[in-house]
Structure 1
Amino acid sequence: MPTSVSGRRPEDAAAPGGADEVAAYLSAFGEPEVVEVLLPDTSGVLRGKWIPGHSMRKIWKDGVAIPLSIFGLDIWGCEVEATEIHMETGDKDGLCWPVPGTLKPVPWAPRPTAQVLITMHEPDGSARGAPWKLDPRQQLAAVVERFAARGLSPCVAFELEFYLLKPGTAPGAPPEPVFQATGQARQNMYAMSDLDAFAEVLHDMRAACAVQGLPADTVISEAAPGQFEVNLYHRVDALGAADDAVLLRRLIDGVARRHGLRATFMAKPLADFAGNGMHVHASLMEQGGGNLFARPDGVGDAALRHAAGGLLATMADATLIFVPSFNGYRRLVPGSYAPTSVSWGFDNRLVAVRVPNGPLHARRLEHRIAGAEAHPHLVLAAILAGMLEGLEQTIEPPAPLSGNAYEHEAAERLSPDMEVAVTRFAGSDFIARAFGTDYRRIYAVMKQEELNAFRRVILPLEYETYL
């Protein structure tokens, strides 16, 4: 379990070191034409601005003004009035400050371009403002602080699956996978031939990761032709790991476009093939640097069980965060390698929470529910909050499952219905404790509006069948 250690925290976002970061960038890459400031909204969609390169120092000096209500936009970028954070508030601005360590060149851009992640603060009369509670990054920061109070630091890693598709698909039409490049249209798990067929674009993705300092590890050909997975190294920095996942998705999309392809993280883009998942590995490091789950005398075993128990006990309440899209529930079907039950097990890829094989010092939990389109900061906040719930309440999980988890009738089933997930989230005491009652209400009404929009659409199959 290789690790990378970083100390990025939201309160450091506007630290004096920002001037040094800008100077280092200019020395290494020269002045860009534009700096793209990137703010992931509630759905994980990147929003922001282009700032002229000659004004880039102002980003660190003055911040970037963006409406606080940007976190009340739906997946289409439209205001969700039911959130009551738009006109009711006068739609006032917040101030966004750069996340240290994220000022990087954009190697796939056609002209000299830099990018930097930003995080939202609320103007409150102080110099930098209080963290804006609706910013998912600030939600994750709050959970990390709860671990810090216990002398623990999460060590986490993301795995992201995606498809490469043909460009130019008409809006609303099914995507066209790149079958022709491999000469076959069947499942071809871990095929080196698929890696070879797309070697040029995949190597460019790895090169771009190196330029941007993203800790990319393994690249795998996944369960369908044109589907791949990129793994990130473990980091003892939950915020940095989630930042990396956000930026990796952007990188994959940008490099694919430069090669005349489309990349999609849609949870279930093709009905007959596996969906795209976001797997999260998590362990807990103690102040001395050791892995809590690896402690002897049964302490590590108990901590692992209780963390798993917390994840299972809170799983149904948090499903709407792990599977935030209407499409994502199509992925949770038996036989797809996506979990369908509230379950855990050792070295079992069919359960929701897996304990992978490996050396004792790398003992960890792998959370396998989230779709690849989910918000990395929110997903990780929900996972860590669930683990903390289990540790604080010493929650014992049910017996771990072995064999085919799809056939275990005793295990509670994950609902494949978004409406059930919305209802469960909206009434959850755990979500209120972990994210706050305001966040619970706002996120729930946003997802209810999204669900309503899909229900208003008549599917082509209905016309084909009944017209």
Structure 2
Amino acid sequence: MDSWLRDHPEIRNIRAAVADLNGQARGKRLPARFGAKLLDEGSRMPMSVLNVDIWGDDIEDSPLVFATGDRDGVLKPTERGFVPMPWLSSASALLPMWMFLEDGTPFAGDPRHALAAVLERYRARGLTPVVATELEFYLIDDSGEDLQPPPSPRSGKRRLGGEVLSMRALDAFDAFFTEVYDACEAMDIPAETAISEAGMGQYEINLVHTDDALKAADDAWLFKLLIRGLARKHGFAASFMAKPYAEHSGTGMHTHFSVLDKDGANVFDDGGEAGTDTLRHAIAGCLAAMPASTLIFAPHGNSYERFTPGAHAPTGIAWAYENRTAAIRVPAGSPKARRIEHRVAGGDINPYLMLAVVLGAALNGIEDAEAPPAPITGSAYDAELAQLPTTWADAIAAFETSEHIARILPKSLIRNFVLTKKQEAQYYQELSEAERIDLYLDTV
């Protein structure tokens, strides 16, 4: 990794950053000459920093702050190494980190370690998840009192309606998307298809599947930083906020995954359309954990505005074959690619916690060998189904006491996340609608 800096002498400064529980990048800025030392020795940061609220404030009564003297953890580089930050005006590099205790033990409050622990459970069974993500976002002009799409750099016009799969909508921001793909190439983010979506100024970019789920989460985290940064460079905002416009579709982050055995065979593939019992066990696990997992899939006050029947976000707990109204979809296609598409999460999630909960719930189901209910047909919005929690408070309560979540995430992380969300929910009630939009537009 040190060779990267030698190969890029133009780099003037470095960011050493870690993802907190909200997926926010927390860290330090250093001159580039300290890069080798950072690789060799890491850095230090209070453990409580990974557990601040969305405003960056300490959590009241957190055991990580005054009760334990606000002790430091040790930040060490992830496998990623340095990546460029092309959205900044000066030549800069980001070094993604994760946190450990003094004795080298992973810090349980680090969301990346939570995902790593789930993947270790898979490895112990000789299994490997293969993961791909689809990230939706809005391009927004937030320079005035009301949010609106930015004007096209080509025509100067604003498109005030949704344009699903419109080439014109993509071409209007060709310079932006070209720079996005160039930056993804430089950052080793496997960006594939870009499309325009149903919302006003809404787009989606898919990231290619990988058998390294930690890298998939890294890719999604870095992608969100990149998109927001490049948009500002081009004079507008990009947001993964779950529901920036009340009258338009929300922002989702769909996850596709299959599971390979030790010989590289897809354990969901039975050679036909139905898939294996293992596929259905994984689905059963995802459905059973779904109510309690909602706090991870919808972690913010604005998140719950996305769960509206008929608005392309699931509200009922069900699965189906080739049906996008269901929370869990099994796509059609080659049996070799038989997989699960998990459609609940909003774009405002922490990718590490989201993948930890999705993959952990699937593994719970595989371990328990439970059968799911029958797949639905037709619109899930018209079926009588158990529903996802509809309020932030209900989601917090379901998450806090869930046996399913307790099998997936460390006890201390569950406690810290609940404290964080309760504090945020308390202060969120005091905000005006404009302040709520301003809070989430650039952060999540």
Q: Does 1:208 align with 2:180?
A: no
CA contact (8 A) 1:425 1:431 kept: yes
SS at match of 1:223: coil
1:17-32 pair list within 5 angstroms: 21-27=1-7, 29-32=8-11
Aligned position for 2:401: 427
Given the alignment, which residue of 150, 153, 160 partners 1:178? 150
Aligned position for 1:325: 300
- Letter in structure 2 aligned against 1:61: D
Going from structure 1 to structure 2, the CA distance change for 1:459 and 1:228 (only over 3 Å counts) comes to: closer
- For 1:338 and 1:176, the matched residues in 2 are separated by 22
- For 1:60 and 1:352, the matched residues in 2 are separated by 42
CA contact (8 A) 1:267 1:373 kept: yes
- For 1:284 and 1:294, the matched residues in 2 are separated by 10
Q: Does 1:53 align with 2:63?
A: no
CA contact (8 A) 2:261 2:267 kept: yes
Going from structure 1 to structure 2, the CA distance change for 1:57 and 1:427 (only over 3 Å counts) comes to: same
Deviation at 1:346, TM superposition (A): 0.9
Aligned position for 2:204: 229
CA contact (8 A) 2:198 2:249 kept: yes
Q: Does 1:307 align with 2:287?
A: no
- For 2:403 and 2:412, the matched residues in 1 are separated by 12
Aligned position for 2:101: 122
CA contact (8 A) 1:242 1:376 kept: yes
- For 2:193 and 2:346, the matched residues in 1 are separated by 19
Deviation at 1:432, TM superposition (A): 1.7
SS at match of 1:37: strand
Q: Does 1:65 align with 2:44?
A: yes
Give TM-score, length-normalised by structure 1: 0.89
Deviation at 1:233, TM superposition (A): 0.3
1:36-51 pair list within 5 angstroms: 36-51=15-30
Deviation at 1:182, TM superposition (A): 5.3
- Letter in structure 1 aligned against 2:400: A
Given the alignment, which residue of 422, 427, 432 partners 1:448? 422
CA contact (8 A) 2:137 2:347 kept: yes
CA contact (8 A) 2:5 2:11 kept: no
CA RMSD of aligned residues (A): 1.8
1:283-298 pair list within 5 angstroms: 283-295=258-270
- For 2:255 and 2:157, the matched residues in 1 are separated by 29
- Letter in structure 2 aligned against 1:442: N
Deviation at 1:100, TM superposition (A): 1.6
Deviation at 1:294, TM superposition (A): 1.1
Going from structure 1 to structure 2, the CA distance change for 1:297 and 1:373 (only over 3 Å counts) comes to: closer
Which has the higher mean CA deviation after the structures are superposed, 176-185 or 299-308? Answer: 176-185
- Letter in structure 2 aligned against 1:449: Q
- For 1:291 and 1:25, the matched residues in 2 are separated by 39
- For 1:89 and 1:187, the matched residues in 2 are separated by 51
1:196-215 CA-partner distances (Å, limit 9, x unpaired) = 11111011101111111110
Aligned position for 2:440: none
- Letter in structure 2 aligned against 1:176: Q
Deviation at 1:99, TM superposition (A): 1.0
SS at match of 2:420: helix
Deviation at 1:457, TM superposition (A): 3.6
Deviation at 1:188, TM superposition (A): 1.6
SS at match of 2:181: helix
Deviation at 1:455, TM superposition (A): 2.2
Structure 2: runs of 5+ lacking an equivalent:
435-444
Aligned position for 1:7: none
1:413-449 CA-partner distances (Å, limit 9, x unpaired) = 1122111101111111121221132222221121111
Deviation at 1:330, TM superposition (A): 0.3
- For 1:326 and 1:156, the matched residues in 2 are separated by 28
SS at match of 1:81: coil
- For 2:299 and 2:169, the matched residues in 1 are separated by 30
CA contact (8 A) 2:162 2:201 kept: no
SS at match of 2:15: strand
Going from structure 1 to structure 2, the CA distance change for 1:207 and 1:385 (only over 3 Å counts) comes to: same
Which has the higher mean CA deviation after the structures are superposed, 397-406 or 244-253? Answer: 397-406
Give TM-score, length-normalised by structure 2: 0.94
Q: Does 1:78 align with 2:78?
A: no
1:312-461 pair list within 5 angstroms: 312-409=287-384, 411-457=385-431
Aligned position for 1:106: 85
Q: Does 1:149 align with 2:128?
A: no
Aligned position for 2:217: 242
- Letter in structure 2 aligned against 1:345: A
Deviation at 1:296, TM superposition (A): 5.0
- For 1:367 and 1:405, the matched residues in 2 are separated by 15
Aligned position for 2:437: none
1:109-149 CA-partner distances (Å, limit 9, x unpaired) = 2111111110000113xxxx111000000000000000000
Deviation at 1:342, TM superposition (A): 0.6
Aligned position for 1:13: none
Deviation at 1:82, TM superposition (A): 2.7
Aligned position for 1:192: 167
Identity of aligned residues (%): 39
SS at match of 1:255: helix
- Letter in structure 2 aligned against 1:177: P
CA contact (8 A) 1:106 1:113 kept: yes
- Letter in structure 1 aligned against 2:259: L
SS at match of 1:397: coil
- Letter in structure 1 aligned against 2:147: P
SS at match of 2:324: coil
Deviation at 1:456, TM superposition (A): 3.0
- For 1:379 and 1:218, the matched residues in 2 are separated by 22
CA contact (8 A) 2:12 2:90 kept: yes
- For 1:415 and 1:167, the matched residues in 2 are separated by 31
SS at match of 2:80: coil
Structure 1: runs of 5+ lacking an equivalent:
1-20, 461-467
Going from structure 1 to structure 2, the CA distance change for 1:374 and 1:174 (only over 3 Å counts) comes to: farther
